[in-house]
């Protein structure tokens, strides 16, 4: 049982390049979330999904797109990366009913030059 | 508009003493609160939670207190151990929007 797996773990991009972060969970969780962590800013919600085929905006959605085509996967895309998107990105998931606990992945560190 | 605030960026405590971490929130629609612990280069891990209908929840050395009228919660760790040294995030959940909003974190250092 791997839990929540994020790929890649590290990536360096140039300004204007695009990339996709993949989050995969094997717990059959309904809800999935993308956060970014920056010094002094805590964890800020980018986008989230409450089920396959659904997505919604969080606190800081600009510059990102997401897709949830399969229940187990939640993709975070950067169409045109900017230095302000240099951050550590965390994916989390939870079951749709019962306990409200989020399970996090180990993070993806992205640097935009 | 910071809906969840942790006003103390850092805290140092002697081993064996009590650690108290504080968190304030502004949105009365939050109905569930959680504390997470984070070590460097790892994802946050769940520690303890409390429903808005309760005012206290205890799990071993960890106790969370909720004061709804003050929109304040706190995490007590007794006794503190060096392995507790980490960044602690409080989070608030709104079941109407499905959003979890996190605070900025408090770095706890437990001195041996």
Least Cα distance to B103 among B75, B78, B81 occurs for B75
For chain A, domain boundaries: 4-95+106-112
All domains in chain B, ordered by first residue: 4-111 (2.60.40.10)
pLDDT in tens, A15-29: 999 999 999 999 999
pLDDT in tens, B18-73: 999 999 999 999 999 999 999 999 999 999 999 999 999 999 999 999 999 999 99
- CA distances to A21, A36, B52, B96, B111 from A29, rounded to whole Å, are 19, 20, 24, 18, 39
C-beta separation of B8 from B22 below 8 A: yes
Give the pLDDT of residue A96: 74
| Structure tokens given for B83 | 């392995």
Q: To the nearest whole number, what is the mean pLDDT of chain B?
A: 96
Give the fold, CATH level 3, of A4-95+106-112.
Immunoglobulin-like (2.60.40)
Under the banding of pLDDT at 50, 70 and 90, the label for residue B1 is low
Decide if B104 and A45 are in contact by the 8 Å CB cutoff: no
Indicate the residue of B43, B103, B104 with minimum beta-carbon distance to A105. B43
Chain A interface mutation, best of B9, B64, B100, B105, highest count of A Cβ atoms under 10 Å: B100
> Radius of gyration over alpha carbons of chain A, in Å?
13
A97 pLDDT more than 80? no
Residue numbers in B near A31 (CB within 8 A)? 98
Indicate the residue of B36, B99, B105 with minimum beta-carbon distance to A48. B99
Decide if B98 and A59 are in contact by the 8 Å CB cutoff: no
Decide if A100 and B93 are in contact by the 8 Å CB cutoff: yes
CA gap A108, A88 in Å, rounded: 6
- CA distances to A54, A67, A78, A91, B55 from A22, rounded to whole Å, are 16, 10, 12, 9, 38
**3-class secondary structure, A83:** helix
Q: CB within 8 A of B53, min separation 6: which ones?
A: none
Decide if A45 and B99 are in contact by the 8 Å CB cutoff: yes
Tokens 């230095």 appear where? A83
- Bond before B79 cis per omega within 30 degrees: yes
Indicate the residue of B32, B98, B102 with minimum beta-carbon distance to A43. B102
Decide if B32 and A100 are in contact by the 8 Å CB cutoff: yes
Per-residue pLDDT, averaged over B6-19, amounts to 96
């Amino acid at each position: 049982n791997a839990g929540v797996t994020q790929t890649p773990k590290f990536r360096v991009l140039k300004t204007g390049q695009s990339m996709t972060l993949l989050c995969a969970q094997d717990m059959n969780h309904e809800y999935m979330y993308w956060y970014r962590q920056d010094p002094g800013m805590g964890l800020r919600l980018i986008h989230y999904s409450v089920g396959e085929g659904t997505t919604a905006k969080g606190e800081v959605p600009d510059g990102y797109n997401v897709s949830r085509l399969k229940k187990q996967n939640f993709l975070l895309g950067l169409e045109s990366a900017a230095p302000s998107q240099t951050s550590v990105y965390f994916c989390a998931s939870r079951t749709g009913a019962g306990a409200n606990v989020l399970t996090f992945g180990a993070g993806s560190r992205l640097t935009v030059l | 508009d910071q809906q969840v605030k942790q006003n103390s960026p850092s805290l140092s405590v002697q081993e064996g003493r009590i650690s108290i971490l504080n968190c304030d929130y502004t949105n009365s629609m939050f109905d569930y609160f959680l504390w997470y612990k984070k070590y460097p280069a790892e994802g946050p891990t769940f520690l303890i939670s409390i429903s808005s209908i309760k005012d206290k929840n205890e799990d071993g050395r960890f106790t969370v207190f909720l004061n709804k009228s003050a929109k304040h919660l706190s995490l007590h760790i007794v006794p503190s151990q060096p392995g507790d040294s980490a960044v602690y995030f409080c989070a608030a959940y709104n079941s109407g929007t499905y959003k979890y909003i996190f605070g900025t974190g408090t770095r706890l250092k437990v001195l041996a």
